[in-house]
Structure 1
Amino acid sequence: MQTTRPQAADGRVTVDVADLADIGLPLLDEPEHPAQGSYQHEHTRRWSRTVQLADAFVVVTPEYNFGMPAALKNAFDFLYHEWAWKPVAFVSYGNTSAGTRSVQMAKQVVTTLRMMPVGATVALRLADSVRDGRVSGSPTLDAAARAVLVEVSRVARAMRPLRGGTDVVDGPVDGLTLTDGQPGDLAELLVLQRCCWVQEAIVNDTLDLAPLRETLDDLHASMSTWRWWCVRRDGRLVAAVRARAHEGTWLIGRLMVAPDQAGNGIGSWLLSYAEEQAPEETTGCTLFTGHRSTRNIRLYERAGYTRTWVADPPQDVVHLSKPRPAGQPHRPMTDSPVHDGAGVG
Structure 2
Amino acid sequence: MSSNASNAPLNVLVIVGSTRPGRLGPAIADWFVQAALPAAAASGVTLDVADLADIGLPLLDEPEHPSSGVYAHEHTRAWSRRVAAADAFVVVTPEYNFGMPAVLKNAFDFLYHEWAWKPVAFVSYGNTSAGTRSVQMAKQVVTTLKMMPIGATVALRLADSVQDGQVLRSTRLDDTARGMLLELTRVATAMRPLRTAPEGEAAVTTGPVDGLKLAAAQPDDLAELLVLQRCCWVQEAIANDTLDLPPLRETLDELRESLSTWQVWCVRRHGRLVAAVRARLHEGAWLIGRLMVAPDQAGQGIGGWLLSHVEQQAPQETTHYELFTGEGSTGNIKRYERAGYALANDENTPRGSVRLIKKR
- Look up the match of 1:283: 257
- Look up the match of 2:170: 138
What is the CA RMSD across the aligned residues, in angstroms? 2.9
- Look up the match of 1:3: 35
On the 8 A contact 1:88/1:115 being kept in 2, the answer is yes
Q: Give the aligned residue type for 1:147.
A: G
On the 8 A contact 1:68/1:102 being kept in 2, the answer is yes
Question: Identity over aligned residues, as a percent?
Answer: 65
Change (3 A) 1:166 1:132: same
- Look up the match of 2:60: 28
- Look up the match of 2:94: 62
Change (3 A) 1:179 1:155: farther
- Look up the match of 2:345: none
Q: State how many pairs are aligned.
A: 201
Q: For residues 202-256 of structure 1, give each alpha carbon's deviation from its aligned partner in whole angstroms, at most 9, with x where no partner exists.
A: xxxxxxxxxxxxxxxxxxxxxxxxxxxxxxxxxxxxxxxxx98xxxxx9xxxxxx
The question of 1:94 aligning with 2:137 is answered: no
Matches for 1:144-159 after TM superposition, within 5 Å: 144-159=176-191
- Look up the match of 1:50: 82
The question of 1:17 aligning with 2:49 is answered: yes
On the 8 A contact 1:68/1:106 being kept in 2, the answer is yes
Q: In structure 2, what is the Cα distance between the partners aligned to 1:134 and 1:46?
A: 30
On the 8 A contact 1:92/1:99 being kept in 2, the answer is yes
Q: Scaled by the length of structure 2, what TM-score is found?
A: 0.51
- Look up the match of 1:166: 197
Following superposition, the deviation at residue 83 of structure 1 comes to 0.5
2:107 to 75, 82, 87: 75
Change (3 A) 1:129 1:166: same
1:106 to 132, 138, 142: 138
Q: For residues 303-333 of structure 1, give each alpha carbon's deviation from its aligned partner in whole angstroms, at most 9, with x where no partner exists.
A: xxxxxxxxxxxxxxxxxxxxxxxxxx89543
Q: In structure 2, what is the Cα distance between the partners aligned to 1:285 and 1:41?
A: 30
Q: In structure 1, what is the Cα distance between the partners aligned to 2:165 and 2:80?
A: 32
Following superposition, the deviation at residue 168 of structure 1 comes to 4.9
Change (3 A) 1:22 1:339: closer
On the 8 A contact 2:118/2:147 being kept in 1, the answer is yes
Q: In structure 2, what is the Cα distance between the partners aligned to 1:58 and 1:282?
A: 45
Matches for 1:1-345 after TM superposition, within 5 Å: 1-163=33-195, 165-168=196-199, 283=257, 332-333=277-278, 334-335=310-311, 336-337=313-314
Q: For residues 243-280 of structure 1, give each alpha carbon's deviation from its aligned partner in whole angstroms, at most 9, with x where no partner exists.
A: 98xxxxx9xxxxxxxxxxxxxxxxxxxxxxx7668998
Q: For residues 135-167 of structure 1, give each alpha carbon's deviation from its aligned partner in whole angstroms, at most 9, with x where no partner exists.
A: 00111211110011111111111111112x421
Q: Scaled by the length of structure 1, what TM-score is found?
A: 0.53
Q: For residues 23-45 of structure 1, give each alpha carbon's deviation from its aligned partner in whole angstroms, at most 9, with x where no partner exists.
A: 01111111111111111111111
Q: In structure 1, what is the Cα distance between the partners aligned to 2:194 and 2:277?
A: 23
Following superposition, the deviation at residue 337 of structure 1 comes to 3.5
Change (3 A) 1:332 1:285: closer
On the 8 A contact 2:219/2:256 being kept in 1, the answer is no
Q: In structure 1, what is the Cα distance between the partners aligned to 2:315 and 2:70?
A: 23
Gaps in structure 1 of 5+ consecutive residues:
170-176, 181-242, 245-249, 251-273, 287-328, 341-345
Q: Secondary structure at the match of 2:151?
A: strand
Q: Secondary structure at the match of 1:150?
A: helix
Q: For residues 65-87 of structure 1, give each alpha carbon's deviation from its aligned partner in whole angstroms, at most 9, with x where no partner exists.
A: 11111110010011111100000
- Look up the match of 2:242: none
Change (3 A) 1:71 1:277: farther
On the 8 A contact 1:52/1:83 being kept in 2, the answer is yes
Change (3 A) 1:108 1:282: farther
Gaps in structure 2 of 5+ consecutive residues:
1-32, 205-214, 227-254, 261-272, 279-309, 318-360
